[in-house]
Structure 1
């Protein structure tokens, strides 16, 4: 047996051998790791130093297609770029750009580590992306070589190219490239093109105030455009001047002078005539703001945008507007939007009578009172609540209405103070647009319920719960009115309006595809009943009767007239159309001008649906038709004094009482009186006492 002391020595000797081997292995691993890192770093340095930069990206216009896949417009089809040397650019623009985009431009090597840390700290404090961290060199690299997708891969490539650019070019060369490359909106790329577009002068002639305004545009070319958003552009200019002051580029006196100086912005050149220019502008807005397509990618990425526009319907809409305003005041404006109620697709859009003169899209104007064209929304509410039915009668005469716990009085009147001075039913009230009947109805149903109905139908405009709501006194856009009436046309289904069906990259990759969304917000029976009542507008005595001969198919709709606006909103099972006529500044319209909306609707609807066979509105379950006496609106019987007429009701709300002849009615009244007399009175009558 080995002594304990010898055994301990042997164990210790073995441990030393193991430790020595482990140390050697660690040294080998360390040297291997170090050599590997040196190779990687060295390779990276060699790449950064000698790798060839790729050719700059070729910018392509984005094409907008109609529903048949044919191009009808393009976004930035011709790029306005006029490269100049740095010496030909105002020093004020150079200083303003550096101050607002990259304060440490002359200190970093392409990537600003200090700026990254500052941006990260601000984002962390606000728990959101508040600060950008791209240097001017990084922006140039992105514009030249990369897409605008927001991924880490693109960001890493951007940083690599930025460092490479800093090694290949001087700072002056980089800022020169940047100022000739950056997008300033409205098709202008580079400082020279932008200076001539906005101020009609060369880039070298720009003042401090003009330079500050120009330097602020690239952050959001649409939002900070002095043409589209002058207030936002001026606010952005002040921000640029403040940055220049903080970085020592200008004095406080210079900053104040530039702030107070009025910048004269040159009007945009006239636009070329093209199909659906207002719709094309709307598509661009939806792509950027709703879908989230990068603006510069949209301008120069060669995308293909497929839309819902029906070329034939659009041409008919433009023709109808042209004919509708012909011979009128030169300042009289018009707007039209047509939507397929079955799927929400926008088929035609005209935002004004002359796009060249004014690009404001009145389809989305939220300062227009719809007048009586709003009444169907109110009547649908009352019918749904069973507050009234088609047989409900109110007296048409001057009436005072008390509301707000009798603290307020409302005095509505009919157009030209024309009243029936008798009781009338809902169908007659809708056909003749009787205001007294409408206010009686909203007083019975409650204004808040009407607002709730409007929201269900897609109206988001501000509405107050007051009696005048029944007469359309709160502004609503033609877009919202067409959306709401499409629910009636669509058998109670609300299909979200869409203009873009899909967007593809220039390589054919799918970037976006619309997801159709519809919701049953009204019962089919209620939608049909509302439609059935609105068909009366085109019958004799109705406000749309004078255009009835122009229409060769079942149509429902409603006129609307205020002091400054004229409307017609109507539909067939295949198409809903809202037409507005008026002046941009709210000037009063003449009586002859107020009658132009209905003919525009009729001309467009019939022309747009020429190749569509006429079809009646489908009658759903839950609707009943009964014959009533038009004098009393009670169920008809042979004893009624008048001839019978057929009326439509929601099942369960039709009249249950039957009319009687005048003689029978007198006998019934006498019997009723007799029932209340005592037996002694009857005895006295028998004896003649």
Structure 2
């Protein structure tokens, strides 16, 4: 049995304390001796009782027992597993919660890209792209490889290897954002960005981010990497209303994405970070700086060689377009207005082929702008329109205003204005059809009819004049008297037969052009004078096909048939050619080209018109103000006729002269699709014709014995 050390008197049990041999200890205070004593070594058969408690640390340098270290490690592992398990459960719950707010996966599908309408001129040049995207969908195989490579290099380098989300990129973004104390870098992959663009809103919430990840994983499982990248390149917003790389390339560089250079590709890829901030048309310097960063990334990833990077950096003096604001946009808008009537709803990319001649379109726009520069301030004129048609009624050029960027209202097709004296040919044609001739005489004198007293422009009267002179000099009194004599309704019927579609007031003032019409319809109504008497329907669309070539519409037919018989047609052309020879339109002659036309000025000089034609083109010009404000005595002869001549001279330069029926005895060349018309070389001037009425006016020529049918045979080879 272990022997214990004796207890000190008067005290409770005292536990032995550790000691070191020969170390002095103090005696108990109770023994009255406070001298230091040396602890005696216990005898061999006696050992002091040792505490069973483990030794405690002694400051920082103390050792920790292995058992305690093991216990703490076990607790750490345990709680890590517990927290991890609950984390997985929590994440799973979150995924289930937000995933349940998405449609069933069986219904997941990439929505169709908004349809693009690519509109082409007759010579294959781009008139415009219309639709929500602003450009056509392009296949990745059709793009220069450095364009998709630029996007991958700067936006998602591990795009080819990740499964839709990039943990490395996400972790890097978190570190950068924490360091920057703000959101300076995103962690979304291209697939996540595509998922957001296709399916989700732009709101930044935790739930939307979870849904974005789920959709990104689904996209990666459903589509190949090239398909995902192609979808992204065709859908991503790139500023200025452009969606997709093709729309952006056309918007900023005026070319297809298939044709961009390395530097341009870098600029397009640089837009993705902030489209408005880095738009080259907005801030070229900032855009270039960003492009240089992209070029470095492209070289670093092997998308381009160092030599290509050097060459791209050397590209200076780049041209950035300010958007397509040319006059061809009026044509594109008009095409879009008509498209549903041809193919219904546009639910896929289509290509529309038009009748527009791109060179004539440029000439028409330049002529109108020059005219407004010449007459705008001088005559208080602010707007104008030009429309030019070939003998089949195909619109070859159309300008609906002076500046599309400031006003998209198409005055050529929508503005209804008083045509003034340009309406008079319908009056005189009616007279020819009712048995009169260009030599028929009427009195130019003041008169009043039911309170209406029409006056001539110069307030002068010439007395007896022929109808040819009355039309060429634009005498109002004679036209008004003819309207009363022939009947306003008959004149209205003639105008509508030739192509006027606007409502007409069947009153005598109709003869002076008081009923409003559009420039397109009245110009179209003049075309029968140029093509041998055949009515036309002004048109611009010749064909529509899908992007892969399937024909959806092809125009057939060439018009509405004959609307003017040959004799009155020839007589009208004789009179209308006199307008340019000696009349109010003499400033608008086209050297070397037979032509006819008519000036027009509405009440109070509000509208100035000139509509004229050759065997090649029929063109109408209108000048005025949108609000109907009067001009400073601007007339058709002094303003519109000058613009008309400027355009027509340029449009006919270098072309072989073509005859107009009843003016020059040669065979007219017409555009393809127009019925072939053979004219008798012996027929010139005012042709003999049968009387319409039983009574023949004094001096009137009798019809040939074979009658109208024989004349038609001789003129047109029927």
Task: Name the TM-score, length of structure 1 as normaliser.
Answer: 0.54
Q: Identify the residue that residue 567 of structure 2 maps to in structure 1.
A: 525
Within 1, Cα distance between the matches of 2:683 and 2:547? 57
Corresponding position of 2:361: 314
For residues 648 and 104 of structure 2, the distance between their equivalents in structure 1, rounded to whole angstroms, comes to 67
Specify which of 265, 277, 283 is matched with residue 329 of structure 2: 277
The answer for the alignment partner of 2:284 in structure 1 is: none
Q: 1:302, CA displacement in angstroms?
A: 2.5
Partners of 1:378 and 1:442 within 8 A in 2: yes
Mapping of residues 47-446 of structure 1, within 5 Å: 53-59=108-114, 61-76=116-131, 78=133, 272-274=324-326, 276-288=328-340, 290-295=341-346, 297=347, 301-329=348-376, 332-341=382-391, 343-386=392-435, 388-401=436-449, 408-420=450-462, 422-446=463-487
Larger radius of gyration: 2
Q: CA deviation at 1:416?
A: 2.4
The match for 1:599 is 642
1:496-537 residue CA offsets vs partner (Å, 9 max, x unmatched): 121111111112111111122421122122222211110000
Give, in angstroms, the shift of residue 62 of structure 1.
2.5
Q: Aligned partners of 2:484, 2:337: CA distance in 1, in Å?
A: 41
The 2-side partners of 1:513 and 1:460 are apart by 24
Deviations 1:570-625 (A, max 9, x none): 10111111100100000001124652100111111121122321122234889998
The CA distance in 1 between the partners of 2:467 and 2:482, in whole Å, is 9
| Mapped pair 1:566 → 2:608 | yes
By how many angstroms is 1:61 displaced?
A: 3.3
- Going from structure 1 to structure 2, the CA distance change for 1:458 and 1:55 (only over 3 Å counts) comes to same
- Following superposition, the deviation at residue 390 of structure 1 comes to 1.7
Provide the C-alpha distance between the structure 1 equivalents of 2:611 and 2:134, rounded to a whole number of angstroms.
40
The verdict on how the C-alpha distance between 1:368 and 1:52 changes in structure 2, with shifts beyond 3 A counting, is closer
In structure 2, relative to structure 1, the CA distance for the partners of 1:326 and 1:293 (3 Å cut) is same
Give the Cα separation in 2 of the matches to 1:477 and 1:400. Answer: 30
Partners of 2:325 and 2:394 lie apart in 1 by 24
Distance of 2:403 and 2:700 partners within structure 1: 58
Shift of residue 492, structure 1, vs aligned partner: 1.1
Q: 1:345 to 1:360 in 2, by over 3 A?
A: same
Contact 1:525 1:622 in 2 (8 A): no
Find 1:555's aligned residue among 595, 606, 619.
595
Q: Measure, in 1, the Cα distance between the counterparts of 2:382 and 2:448.
A: 35
Return the alpha-carbon distance in structure 2 between the equivalents of residues 271 and 475 of structure 1: 34
Task: State the TM-score, normalized to the length of structure 2.
Answer: 0.52
Aligned residues of 1:624 and 1:650 also touching (Cα < 8 A): no
Per the TM alignment, residue 425 of structure 1 is displaced from its structure 2 partner at its CA by 0.5
CA contact (8 A) 1:462 1:474 kept: yes
Point out the structure with the larger helix share: 1
After superposition, the Cα gap between the structure-2 partners of 1:79 and 1:69, relative to the gap in structure 1 and judged at 3 Å, is closer
CA distance in 1 between counterparts of 2:700 and 2:338 reads 57
RMSD: 4.0
Structure 1 residues 231-271: Cα deviation after superposition (integer angstroms, max 9, x where no partner): xxxxxxxxxxxxxxxxxxxxxxxxxxxxxxxxxxxxxxx95
Whole-angstrom distance in 1 between the partners of 2:505 and 2:614: 30
Change (3 A) 1:652 1:351: same
1:396–1:419 Cα contact (<8 Å) kept: yes
Deviations 1:26-78 (A, max 9, x none): xxxxxxxxxxxxxxxxxxxxxx9775855444456331111012223111484
- 1:22-37 maps to which residues of 2 (within 5 A)? none
Which position in structure 1 is the counterpart of 2:689? 650
Partner of 1:497: 538
CA distance in 2, matches of 1:52, 1:409: 75
1:529/1:623 contact within 8 Å kept: no
Query: Structure 1 residues 471, 419: CA separation in 2 closer, same or farther (over 3 Å shift)?
Result: same
The 2-side partners of 1:458 and 1:493 are apart by 11
Q: Alignment partner of 1:485: what SS?
A: helix
Deviates more, 1:409-418 or 1:56-65: 56-65
Say if 1:447 and 1:465, in contact at 8 Å, map to a contact too: yes
- Structure 1 pair 623–524 and aligned structure 2 pair: CA distance change class (3 A): farther
Q: Which runs of 5+ in 2 are unaligned?
A: 1-102, 136-196, 200-214, 220-234, 244-321, 663-677, 702-718
User: In the alignment, is the contact (CA less than 8 A) between 2:114 and 2:133 conserved in 1?
Assistant: no
Equivalent position of 1:233 in the other structure: none
Report how far residue 430 of structure 1 moved.
Answer: 0.8
| Number of residue-to-residue matches in the alignment | 412
CA deviation map 1:630-663 (0-9, x unaligned): xxxxxxxxxxxxxxxx75553458876499xxxx
Within 2, Cα distance between the matches of 1:600 and 1:623?
Answer: 33
In the alignment, the residues of structure 2 paired with residue 440 and residue 311 of structure 1 have an alpha-carbon distance, to the nearest angstrom, of 44
C-alpha spacing 1:622/1:525, structure 2 compared with 1 (3 Å)? farther
Which of 601, 604, 615 is matched with 2:658 structurally? 615
CA gap 1:597/1:49 in 2 versus in 1, 3 angstroms:
closer
How far off its partner does 1:365 sit? 3.4
- Counterpart CA distance in 2 for 1:367 and 1:396 is 30
Unpaired runs of 5+ residues, structure 1, are 1-47, 81-142, 146-164, 170-180, 190-269, 402-407, 627-645, 660-689
Q: C-alpha separation between the residues in 2 aligned to 1:464 and 1:488?
A: 24
Distance across 1 between alignment mates of 2:681 and 2:511:
25
Q: Is the 8 A contact 1:492 1:522 kept in 2?
A: yes
Change (3 A) 1:187 1:378: farther
In 1, are the aligned partners of 2:426 and 2:495 still within 8 Å (CA)?
Answer: yes
Structure 1 residues 318, 464: CA separation in 2 closer, same or farther (over 3 Å shift)?
same
Supply the distance in 2 between the matched residues of 1:489 and 1:524 (Cα, whole angstroms): 12
Within 1, Cα distance between the matches of 2:653 and 2:371?
19
* Mapped partners of 2:539, 2:361: distance in 1: 16
